[in-house]
Structure 1
Amino acid sequence: MCGRYYIEIDNAEFRSIIAEVERNTAIKTGEIYPTNVAPVLSPTGVMTAMRWGFPKFDGKGEIINARSETAAEKSMFRNPMMEGRCLIPASWYFEWEKRGTKKIKYVLMNPNKKPVWMAGLSKIDYKTGLPSYVVLTRPAWSGISFIHDRMPVILPEERHDEWLNGHDPVGTMNRAVNEVSYEMV
């Protein structure tokens, strides 16, 4: 779930975000894949570049998502849930519907076409010293569950400060956006 998303550089809000972050570090735009460096609103409220994925304990591969229902209990996510909450901006995200042996690609976005702000967790990679993030996921809204059974936790603008600075992250996630629009690509 949520293995790719997109940052549209033609959007004025994203041009501003990209300009702010690229003063210090080059970032990826367009289709964002795991391990890419992308813009993220850090726990301190500053736009910064972070790498997508927490390294697995065995060093083989990346964890790119965390289940919102259990993140606070898991050792990998417990501390980031308290101190590393972040927001990942996207124009939209992608999901694939499985139909037999075929996979149908969909774009999922805010119905109002505004950016999607996905709740995430961040931490500093102890080996590289660089910041990294994962996307929090939740059960899919019933209107898209035929595509995939999970979706990112998408927070409306009025919940951003509460997510970054509040004391009840689970309660904030429970007030996430449910409905998204979608189209086949």
Structure 2
Amino acid sequence: MCGRYYIEIEDAELRSIIAEVERKTTVKTGEVYPTNLAPVLSPNGTMTAMRWGFPRFDGKGEVINARSETAAEKNMFRRPMSEGRCLIPASWYFEWEKRGSQKIKYALSTPDNRPVWMAGISRTDLQTGESLFVILTRPAWSGISFIHDRMPVILPEKIHDQWLYGHDPIETMSRGMKEVRYKAVSETRK
């Protein structure tokens, strides 16, 4: 679920975000992959660069998503859920529908085509000092469940402050966007 997303720098709002973050460091634009350095609205409300993914406990790979329903209970996510809530801006995110031997790639965006703000949680890697984030997911809206059974928690701008600073993140997530627009962008064979 949500293993890639896209930042279109032609969008004025996203271009402004990139410019702000890139005063300090370069971040990935275009198609963003796990472990890329990307712009994130940090828990203190400032735009910064963070790397996508928490290292797995066994050191083999990255955890890039957390289930919103259980994140507050899991050891890896409990503290970031209470202290490290963040928002990840994007133009859209990608999912793949499997049809037999074909995989169809879809771009999913907000109904009004404004930037997608995905709820995330963040922490600092104690070994490297690097800021890290994961994206929170929820069950997919029924209109896209044929593509994938999960989707990011997408928060409208009016509740961003509640997400970052509020005391009830579960309730805030429940008010996230349910519907998204989608379009097929490519087809591949396995």
Same-fold status (TM-score > 0.5): yes
- The answer for the alignment partner of 1:9 in structure 2 is 9
Q: Which secondary structure does the structure 2 equivalent of 1:95 belong to?
A: strand
2:146 pairs with 1:143: no
Aligned to 2:98, the other structure's residue is in SS state: strand
Give, in angstroms, the shift of residue 71 of structure 1: 0.1
Deviations 1:130-149 (A, max 9, x none): 10000000000000000000
Question: How far apart in 2 are the matches of 1:184 and 1:45?
Answer: 34
Structure 2 residues not aligned, in runs of 5+: 186-190
Which runs of structure 2 are paired with 1:151-170 in the superposition (5 Å)?
151-170=151-170
- For residue 47 of structure 1, report the CA deviation from its aligned partner: 0.1
Q: Normalised by the size of structure 1, how large is the TM-score?
A: 0.99
Q: How many residues of Structure 1 are paired with residues of Structure 2 in the alignment?
A: 185
Distance in 2, matches of 1:181 and 1:172, equals 22
Secondary structure of residue in 1 paired with 2:144: coil
Distance in 2 separating the partners of 1:135 and 1:13: 21
Report the counterpart of residue 54 of structure 1 in structure 2: 54
Q: Secondary structure of 2:50's partner?
A: strand
1:24 corresponds to which letter in structure 2?
Answer: K
Which residue in 2 is equivalent to 1:41? Answer: 41
The residue identity in structure 2 corresponding to 1:169 is P
SS at match of 1:143: helix
Counterparts of 1:60 and 1:105, CA distance in 2: 27
Residue 33 of structure 1 aligns with an amino acid whose one-letter code is: Y
Distance in 1 between residues matched to 2:88 and 2:160, nearest whole Å: 11
2:99, 2:64 → 1: CA distance? 25
Show the counterpart of 1:123: 123
> TM-score under structure 2 normalisation?
0.97
- Secondary structure in 2 aligned to 1:179? coil
CA distance in 2, matches of 1:39, 1:70: 25
- 1:126 Cα deviation after fit: 1.0
Question: Which sections of structure 1, spanning at least 5 residues, go unmatched?
Answer: none
State the match for 1:112 in structure 2.
Answer: 112
Provide runs of 4+ in structure 1 moved above 4 Å. none
What corresponds to 2:188 in structure 1?
Answer: none
Alignment deviations for residues 79-102 of structure 1 (CA, whole Å, 9 cap, x no partner): 000000000000000000011121
Return the letter of the residue paired with 2:175: R
Superposed CA deviations along residues 107-132 of structure 1, whole A, max 9, x for unmatched, are 00011110000000000011110100
1:23-57 alpha-carbon deviations (Å, 9 max, x no partner): 11110000000000000000000000000000001
The separation in 2 between residues aligned to 1:88 and 1:77, in whole angstroms, is 17
The answer for the alignment partner of 2:63 in structure 1 is: 63
Give % identity: 75
Listed as ranges, the matches of 1:164-183 within 5 Å are: 164-183=164-183
